[in-house]
């Protein structure tokens, strides 16, 4: 082929093109999601539980009466990278933080807790209550609290999570 132009031969096109250099830097700074490429994530989960009583105000049915549940609580943490210890977060630390939050609910009449004075202590609101407090306790970790699920029976649960695409 002889078109008079040789890409390999021209000194101007050898070395690093500034555009390519800036793109690869972007890549190394983990802006991969923003570029529409696949994002790989690690996720860990712990399970815990607490016992509590509640009554659902304004609920047309048996749940308006005082009754109790043994709630099973699942806490999900995720991260695109592992710490130097090869973990998303030490399970022990996560368990301790979760227990500290659940202590405020365990063996309590949930309607009497100030947070639930106006807000119904449904499993949905309980999941959000736990999520918000756990998020505060886990501030500063490199991983992210992604979801809390509260099971009020073996077959019924509610979850609270926050969209973290733009975090
Ligand atoms: Zn109930």
Domain 42-161, what architecture?
Answer: 2-Layer Sandwich (3.30)
Which SS3 state, helix, strand or coil, does residue 97 take?
Answer: helix
Express each pLDDT in 7-57 by its tens digit. 444 444 444 444 444 444 444 444 445 555 678 999 999 999 999 999 999
Query: Is 107 known to be catalytic?
Result: yes
Q: Which of 47, 103, 106, 136 is catalytic?
A: 106
Which SS3 state, helix, strand or coil, does residue 44 take?
Answer: strand
Q: In which band, very low, low, confident or very high, does the pLDDT at 146 lie, cut at 50, 70 and 90?
A: very high
Query: Is 152 known to be catalytic?
Result: yes
pLDDT attached to residue 39: 80
| CA separation for the pair 106, 70 (Å, rounded) | 9
- Give the pLDDT mean for 102-125: 97
| CA separation for the pair 48, 75 (Å, rounded) | 8
| Angle subtended by helix axes 123-137 and 91-102, to nearest 10 | 130
- Give the pLDDT mean for 140-155: 95
Asked if 129 contacts 103 with a C-beta cutoff of 8 angstroms, the reply is: no
Express each pLDDT in 68-95 by its tens digit. 999 999 999 999 999 999 999 999 999 9
- Give the pLDDT mean for 119-136: 97
pLDDT attached to residue 5: 44
Q: Where are the domains of the chain?
A: 42-161
Average pLDDT, the chain: 83
Query: Is 69 known to be catalytic?
Result: yes
**From ligand 1's centre to the CA of 65, what distance in Å?**
9
**From ligand 1's centre to the CA of 63, what distance in Å?**
5
Backbone angles phi, psi at 84, to 5 degrees: -65, -25
**From ligand 1's centre to the CA of 130, what distance in Å?**
17
pLDDT attached to residue 23: 43
């Amino acid at each position: 082929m002889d078109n008079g132009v040789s890409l390999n031969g021209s000194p101007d096109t050898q070395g690093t093109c500034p555009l390519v250099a800036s793109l690869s830097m972007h890549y190394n700074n983990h802006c991969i999601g923003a570029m529409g490429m696949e994002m790989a994530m690690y996720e860990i989960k712990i399970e815990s539980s607490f016992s509590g009583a509640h009554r659902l105000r304004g609920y047309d049915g048996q749940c308006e009466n005082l009754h109790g549940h043994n709630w099973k609580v699942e806490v999900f943490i995720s991260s695109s990278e592992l710490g130097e210890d090869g973990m998303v977060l030490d399970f022990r630390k996560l368990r301790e933080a979760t227990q500290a939050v659940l202590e405020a609910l365990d063996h309590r009449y949930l309607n009497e807790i100030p947070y639930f004075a106006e807000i119904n202590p449904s499993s949905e609101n309980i999941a959000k209550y736990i999520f918000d407090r756990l998020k505060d306790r886990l501030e500063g970790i490199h991983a992210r609290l992604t979801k809390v699920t509260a099971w009020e029976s073996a077959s019924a649960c509610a979850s609270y999570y926050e969209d973290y695409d733009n975090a």
